[in-house]
Structure 1
Amino acid sequence: MSILFLTAAGAAPEAAAQFGLIPALKEGGPISIAIFSVMVIMSVFSFYIMFTKLFEQHKVLNQYKQLRAQFWRAASLEEGAAKLDKNSAYRQVVDDGISAQKQHGLLTDPGEAHDWIHNALERSKDAINSKLSTGLPFLATVGATAPFVGLLGTVIGIYSALIKIGIAGQADIGKIAGPVGEALIMTAIGLFVAVPAVLAYNWLQARNKTIASSLAVFSNELIGFMSSDGRLKPAPTAAAAGKPAPAAVKK
């Protein structure tokens, strides 16, 4: 937050010490300190979610690269699944597809195999997408509410300044500089918390859409492979994550 007070610090160190963040919080009293604490907590959790989600997404995107390069070289789904990491999102889709294929054969009144497997894979994809989206609503909430939390501090600061003007009977700049400064600082902190949260939310959402697209492509390939008894098999490739898979080739 030192950027907010860079000008004051450069012009007059004494003024910066008098009208810096700590004096401003003292000027606002317990309410300003509580509002500042809330915004600090919001900011810390926002950055925590952002970095953990980036790590999670990076892992899944790398798993897709591994999938495109190795999975379709296998002779069977079981063999292909064994080549993927146990915690891979795509390994979960394959395992759920294999399980659905086995369950279909046990039904007393089985429906179409394609629909049964398709529904199982849809549930698997939804579970993965839901896990990747965990925490993003918090970022959206912070982005939407942090400016208003800062505005609350601003209103309190302005109100304090007006009270001092009323008591003094005149607008003495020396008496109202503290409350007004505290008010402006709270507005700036609210924006400082909100802007990164909004940017992170939009960025992470876009990356989640890329992952959801790759899951949909792989799910369709898996259904094609199962429905054709392995005759419809995509060619292995080292394509980058998120890019459309090549056209399937018949074996």
Structure 2
Amino acid sequence: MSVLELLTHGDGVSRSVAALLLAMSVASWVAILQKAWLLRSGTRGVLRSIAAFWQSSSVTEAEQKLKAFDGPMLVLPAVGAVRRVADDSQATTLGSAGDRGQRLTRSLRDALHGALRRLQGGQILLATVGATAPFVGLLGTVWGIYGALAGIAGETGGFTIDKVAGPVGEALVMTAFGLAVAIPAVLAYNVFGRVIGRIEAELEGFAHDLLATFGEPAKTPDDALPPARVMPV
């Protein structure tokens, strides 16, 4: 019996389970393709953007360069945070309260959290599909076996193996469907998790370097000199 015939002859529960598995498969593959593109461009873009930033002569020039490399917008928000902190030094809002290092820390934290939300998008979906799809398929199998045994019990005549093997084998197809949906989602979740971890480490290191470089106000030449010692007469 083909899959179409199996769904045609199945009851409402079997069709609902098959429709749910199909929806989970489509959703997981859409998430896999989108995240594969994001992480592929993000991995190269983050490394190139960080290198281009430190080779620039100013933050404004760095922002212009990064627009060509940072398509997923993972590094640009952190650079924009540095520029905003430098521009709002005379602001009178609560966001401008505190010294330069505190304001930059807050802005970099918000930028980093936004980048991580984009990187983590779809991971919960893949984890959910990978964890629940086998059980959904198992539900369809159990229900199919129950229906097959109930139909055989209502028939007259002797018990033969062919009356059980056919319906039970058709019901086991649902378990195979569930595994076919879950396996790609689990593999993608694990692979993407490792790539996200590497990108996250690069972004955190870059944010730390920005804070160390731009967190303190620039010193004047007089500040750089040691205090004069008063010699006793």
How does the TM-score come out when normalised to structure 2? 0.82
Asked if 1:22 is matched to 2:10, the reply is no
Name the SS of the counterpart of 1:121 in structure 2: helix
Deviates more, 1:109-118 or 1:128-137: 109-118
Q: 1:216 maps to what in 2?
A: 204
Asked if 1:112 is matched to 2:130, the reply is no
Contact 1:96/1:121 (<8 A) preserved: yes
RMSD: 2.2
Q: 1:175 maps to what in 2?
A: 163
Q: CA 1:124–1:71 in 2, change beyond 3 Å: closer, same or farther?
A: same
Deviations 1:37-58 (A, max 9, x none): 2111111111110111110111
Deviations 1:180-231 (A, max 9, x none): 0122100111111011111111221221111111111111111122135689
Asked if 1:165 is matched to 2:147, the reply is no
Contact 1:117/1:223 (<8 A) preserved: yes
Asked if 1:133 is matched to 2:93, the reply is no
Alignment gaps of 5+ in structure 1: 1-18, 232-251
CA distance in 2, matches of 1:165, 1:70: 72
Name the SS of the counterpart of 1:84 in structure 2: helix
Q: Taking every aligned residue pair, what percent have the same amino acid on both sides?
A: 34
Q: 2:86 aligns with which of 101, 111, 123?
A: 101
Q: Please state how far the C-alpha of 1:24 moved relative to its aligned partner.
A: 2.8
Q: CA 1:146–1:200 in 2, change beyond 3 Å: closer, same or farther?
A: same
CA distance in 2, matches of 1:171, 1:157: 19
Contact 2:144/2:168 (<8 A) preserved: yes
Asked if 1:91 is matched to 2:79, the reply is no
Q: CA 1:90–1:230 in 2, change beyond 3 Å: closer, same or farther?
A: farther
Q: Please state how far the C-alpha of 1:26 moved relative to its aligned partner.
A: 3.3
The number of aligned residues is 213
Q: 1:205 aligns with which of 169, 181, 193?
A: 193
Deviations 1:133-159 (A, max 9, x none): 122211111111111111111111110
Q: 1:242 maps to what in 2?
A: none
Q: 1:35 aligns with which of 9, 12, 17?
A: 17
Q: CA 1:210–1:132 in 2, change beyond 3 Å: closer, same or farther?
A: same
Contact 1:27/1:179 (<8 A) preserved: no
How does the TM-score come out when normalised to structure 1? 0.77
Asked if 1:59 is matched to 2:54, the reply is no
Q: CA 1:230–1:27 in 2, change beyond 3 Å: closer, same or farther?
A: farther
Q: Please state how far the C-alpha of 1:172 moved relative to its aligned partner.
A: 2.3
CA distance in 1, matches of 2:80, 2:135: 47
CA distance in 1, matches of 2:127, 2:53: 36
Contact 1:24/1:181 (<8 A) preserved: no
Q: CA 1:128–1:68 in 2, change beyond 3 Å: closer, same or farther?
A: closer
What code does the residue aligned with 2:124 have? P
Alignment gaps of 5+ in structure 2: 220-233
Q: 1:73-84 counterparts in 2 under 5 A?
A: 73-84=55-66
Contact 1:24/1:178 (<8 A) preserved: no
Q: CA 1:230–1:74 in 2, change beyond 3 Å: closer, same or farther?
A: farther
Q: 1:188 aligns with which of 155, 176, 184?
A: 176
